[in-house]
Amino acid sequence: ERLTRPREPLPNLRGEDETELSYLTNLIETLSWILFPTKHSTCVVGRHPRPPDTSSTFCASLYSMGKGGVKCLDIGPEMGVTRKEVLKKLLGVVELDIGKMMYRDAR
């Protein structure tokens, strides 16, 4: 029965479309494989400085884990006022890096 019911939308926690944020995150992670074929990059969203600060902004980066659990910053951080904004910026950087790679390969 659970499989035949349509999926309920994700909760709207911060006034942002969680489905859209999930889609952007998945798109970034899916596209980045060609830039880092031996790594599994994960899109991470954070905030800096702490939220009570009025200048608090979101940041997004691509990280992968190296040997011994050492984290490696692959791309980023991109900064912005909303999670959607930083994910869109990070997606743009990933797409730009892929375009540069394709252009170099065509030479």
Q: Which domains does the chain have, with CATH numbers?
A: 18-100 (3.30.160)
Task: For residue 99, name the pLDDT band (cuts at 50, 70, 90).
Answer: very high
Answer for the pair 79, 90: CB distance below 8 angstroms, yes or no.
no
Percent of the chain beyond pLDDT 70?
86
Q: How confident is the model at residue 9 (pLDDT cuts 50, 70, 90)?
A: low
Does the pLDDT at position 63 exceed 80?
yes
CA distances from 95 to 27, 58, 59, 91, 103 (A): 10, 20, 18, 6, 12
Token pair belonging to 74: 């692959």
Give pLDDT, residue 10. Answer: 58
CA angle 51, 91, 69 (to 5 degrees): 70
Q: Is the pLDDT of residue 46 over 80?
A: yes
Of all helices (H) and strands (E), which one includes residue 94?
Answer: helix 83-106
Contacts of 96 (CB under 8 A, 6+ apart): none
Asked whether residue 4 carries a pLDDT value surpassing 70, the answer given is no
Which own/partner contact pairs does 43-46 have at CB distance under 8 Å and 24+ positions apart?
Answer: 43/87, 43/90, 45/83, 45/86, 45/87, 46/77
Tell me what pLDDT residue 52 has: 75
Please give the model's pTM, rounded to 2 decimal places.
0.82
